[in-house]
Amino acid sequence: MTDTIKQHIDIDFAITSYCQARCRTCPRTNSDTGEQADYLVLKHQDYDAFERNTTNSKYFDTNLINTIIFCGQTGDPMMHPQITKFVDQGFKIGERVLINTNGGLRSPSWYTEMGEKYGSNLVIKFGIDGIDHETNWKYREGVNFKKAYDNMTAFAKTPGDARWDFLIFEWNYHQIPEVAKLAKELNVEVLYKINNQFHGLIDPAKLPMVKEMICQANTI
């Protein structure tokens, strides 16, 4: 008799359409102005409904679910006033919780508390695209860089799994070596991604050089 192989799954929940950032190529904004897109309705997911549905539904078999993801295409999950409850409930139905955020929301104490509570099973990816406010603002307009960096630093000091999402543009690729150095000091994994949207698109002639810079950064 052979053992049955269980397929573990990840589930992504978009729990809010609110965000303080005005990223020009984000689906929630007007690419020309950075203003909120006309189609978007600002709304937070009802937590009570989330808890009720994930607790009582046959589709949330805790033996099958690996990771609960709070990312979303039209909002930052940290904007939800009840994000802590969502994370707590996420751990009741999955082994891990992964959050994508621009980092400029909440406080260092929040990240410290959650990192201490859940350890490496809590993964937070911080979308920070520079090593200073001016550079980060060129895409993450509306995000307080210092606050984002302080939050990432606080979480990195806990047992939590901190990761740095660094989106590479024409205006920030030269910072890759410094990003790698800072990340090593913080003990944070950097996830480099080359922007392929019109805003800040890298000169194609520079792409081989940028890719080589990424390869070198990954060896630091």
Q: Nearest Cα to 44, choosing from 72, 71, 18?
A: 18
Assigned token pair, 144? 């307080």
Q: Which pLDDT score, from 0 to 100, does residue 176 have?
A: 98
- In angstroms, how far is the first alpha carbon of the chain from the final one? 48
* Local confidence band at 7 (pLDDT 50, 70, 90 cut-offs): low
Task: Determine the Cα–Cα distance for residues 139 and 111; give it in Å rounded to an integer.
Answer: 24
- Strands 189-194, 161-168: pairing is parallel
Q: Which pLDDT score, from 0 to 100, does residue 167 have?
A: 97
Assigned token pair, 67? 């990771």
Once rounded to an integer, what is the mean pLDDT over residues 199-211?
A: 95
Buried/exposed 117-136: b ≥16 CB within 10 Å, e otherwise: bbeebbbbbbbbbbbeeebb
Domain boundaries, the chain: 9-217
Question: At the topology level of CATH, where does 9-217 sit?
Answer: TIM Barrel (3.20.20)
> Residue 186's Cα: distance from chain center in Å?
17
User: 2-6: which pairs have CB atoms within 8 A and are 24 or more residues apart?
Assistant: 6/63, 6/64
Task: Determine the Cα–Cα distance for residues 183 and 178; give it in Å rounded to an integer.
Answer: 8
Residue pLDDT, tens place only, 105-125: 999 999 999 999 999 999 999
Residue pLDDT, tens place only, 23-56: 988 888 887 787 888 899 999 999 999 999 999 7
Summary mean pLDDT of the chain: 92
- Strands 9-13, 122-127: pairing is unpaired
Once rounded to an integer, what is the mean pLDDT over residues 66-78?
A: 92
Residue 22 has pLDDT above 50, yes or no: yes
Q: Which pLDDT score, from 0 to 100, does residue 141 have?
A: 95
* Local confidence band at 2 (pLDDT 50, 70, 90 cut-offs): very low
- Strands 96-101, 189-194: pairing is unpaired
Once rounded to an integer, what is the mean pLDDT over residues 157-185?
A: 97
